[in-house]
């Protein structure tokens, strides 16, 4: 039996049900493996009191310290997040805060491996925790941890040191592995395990019926992602402005909302562009089925779940050549990979709307991206990490 401790600051909670849902789904799939037992530790970065009473922290501070989350045993210990420090102390604070909890957990759950689901601060802290508890550590790179934190002059060295000290490294795409190598991480020890998609939830359906249910008439483009500049929603708004009669709906929340609202008003698109806010994951399939295309103009990605979920729903996608784009869109059936400009997106969207691919053929392009395959590969990888660690310890 493989006992896995999942360490993740990217994990959903009652206040953020869509946050890190890809980590949740991967963990649920791994927990279903007959040879796995696991626990989840999802640390919460909170500032010193009384700052945690501020609106942005209040809901996090009120979360239970332990709970059953969809059948998973989850602990949510706080660690000190000191504002204005640029995160430089996060990893050490996380490791120190979690150590007493892991001692408690280890009394009845002697975990074999720590599976860190983000490189910073999770992965850096996990290496220190692995040293303290004498267990191997796996770290998974997902996107902004490498593209953002990895290039930070203070955090970058912490990430590189953790990567070389870890027992195993994972990436969500082959392109991500190349980016890791370019930053000085050991690419030869990095395995790519792509994410999965829930084909039961994201299934083929009637586009006409889905549109009717949502009150949509005419062509619809859907975008799914946080309202932040790097997701490129501003590019899609400019693109749709040149496509008469086409509607754009954007599902997501974030600090860039006011800027997007102003852009929509400036272009006179209030009747064609809608900001939906945060759409519950369970409701997303109807929106994807209704859409003629899903577009996401991200500046960078690892391998976005939104891509796979759209394709599984029979909806083609238009995306830039970022992250694992070429692993997902391998032909025009699945959509288009285009330049990150309004003109390129408008051209691709117009072509897909005019000549839509068969939804069943679109879905078939991602039929290998199952959570069962993801779980099997992750289980085998973690087993190898544990076996190598044990053999090294015996030899020493």
Question: pLDDT by residue (tens digit) across 267-294?
Answer: 999 999 999 999 999 999 999 999 999 9
pLDDT tens for 331-373 read 999 999 999 999 999 999 999 999 999 999 999 999 999 998 9
Does 163 share its domain with 237? Answer: no
- Do 218 and 348 lie in a common domain? yes
User: Is residue 201 in some structural domain?
Assistant: no
Is the residue at 36 inside a domain? Answer: yes
Cβ-in-10-Å burial (0-12, 13-18, 19+) of 255 comes to exposed
Within-domain flag for 202: no
The total domain count for the chain is 2
Residues 101 and 183 in one domain: yes
What does the pLDDT look like over 71-128, one tens digit per residue? Answer: 999 999 999 988 888 888 999 999 999 999 999 999 999 999 999 999 999 999 999 9
Q: What is the pTM of this model?
A: 0.86
pLDDT score for 87: 84
Domain annotation covers residue 6? yes
Compute the distance between CA of residue 54 and CA of residue 68 in angstroms, rounded to an integer.
27
| 171 shares a domain with 243 | no
In percent, the amount of the chain with pLDDT more than 70 equals 99
Same domain? For 140 and 215 the reply is no
pLDDT at site 302: 86
* Residue 297 forms part of a structural domain: yes
Q: How far apart are CA 302 and CA 173, in angstroms?
A: 6
**pLDDT for residue 84:** 81
Contacts of 214 (CB under 8 A, 6+ apart): 286, 287, 290
Give yes or no: residues 173 and 228 share one domain. Answer: no
- In this prediction, residue 327 carries a pLDDT of 93
pLDDT at 55: 79
Answer whether the bond into residue 50 is a cis peptide, omega within 30°: yes
Pair (49, 111) in one structural domain:
yes
Q: Would you place residue 54 in the very low, low, confident or very high pLDDT band (cuts 50, 70, 90)?
A: confident
Residue 281 lies in a domain: yes
| Residue 137, in any domain of the structure | yes
Query: Residue 188 maps to which CATH number?
Result: 3.40.50.2000
Does 166 lie in the same domain as 20? Answer: yes
List the helix and strand counts (H, then E) for the chain: 16, 16
pLDDT at res. 70 = 95
Range of the domain at 100: 2-196+370-395
Q: What are 153's two structure tokens?
A: 């002059």
Does 377 lie in the same domain as 341?
no
Report whether 284 contacts 250 (CB < 8 A): no
Residue 230 lies in a domain: yes
Distance, in Å, from the CA atom of 71 to the CA atom of 84, rounded to the nearest integer, reads: 37
Name the DSSP class of 218: S
């Amino acid at each position: 039996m493989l006992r896995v401790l999942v360490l993740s600051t990217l994990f959903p909670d009652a206040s953020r049900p869509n946050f890190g849902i890809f980590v949740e789904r991967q963990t649920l799939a791994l927990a279903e493996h007959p040879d796995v037992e696991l626990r989840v530790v999802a640390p919460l970065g909170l500032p010193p009191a009384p700052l945690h009473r501020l609106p942005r922290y209040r809901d996090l501070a009120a979360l239970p310290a332990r709970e059953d989350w969809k059948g998973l045993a989850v602990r949510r210990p706080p660690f000190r997040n000191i504002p204005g420090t640029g995160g430089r102390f996060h990893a050490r604070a996380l490791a120190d805060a979690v150590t007493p909890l892991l001692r408690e957990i280890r009394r009845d759950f002697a975990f074999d491996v720590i599976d860190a689901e983000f490189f910073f601060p999770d992965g850096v802290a996990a290496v220190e925790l692995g040293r303290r508890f004498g267990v191997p550590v796996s770290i998974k790179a997902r996107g902004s941890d490498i593209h953002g934190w990895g290039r930070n002059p203070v955090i970058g060295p912490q990430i590189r040191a953790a990567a070389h000290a870890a027992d195993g490294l994972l990436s969500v795409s082959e392109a991500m592995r190349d980016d890791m190598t370019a930053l000085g991480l050991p690419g030869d020890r990095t395995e790519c395990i792509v994410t999965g998609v829930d084909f039961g939830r994201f299934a083929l359906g009637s586009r006409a019926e889905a549109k009717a249910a949502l009150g949509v008439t005419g062509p619809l483009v859907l975008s799914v992602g946080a309202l932040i500049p790097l997701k490129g929603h501003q590019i899609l708004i400019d693109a749709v402005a040149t496509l008469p009669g086409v509607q754009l709906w954007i599902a997501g929340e974030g600090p860039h909302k006011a800027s997007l609202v102003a852009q929509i008003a400036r272009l006179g698109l209030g009747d064609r562009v809608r900001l939906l806010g945060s759409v519950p994951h369970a409701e997303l399939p109807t929106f994807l089925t209704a859409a003629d295309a899903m577009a996401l103009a991200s500046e960078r990605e690892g391998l976005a779940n939104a891509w796979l979920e759209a394709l599984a729903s029979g909806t083609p996608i238009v995306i830039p050549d970022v992250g694992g784009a070429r692993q997902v869109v391998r032909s025009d059936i699945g959509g288009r990979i285009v330049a990150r400009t309004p003109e390129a997106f408008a051209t691709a969207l117009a072509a897909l709307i005019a000549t839509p691919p068969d939804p069943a053929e679109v879905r078939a392009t991602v039929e290998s991206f199952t959570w069962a395959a993801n779980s099997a590969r992750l289980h085998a990888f973690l087993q190898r990490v544990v076996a190598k660690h044990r053999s090294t310890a015996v030899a020493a």
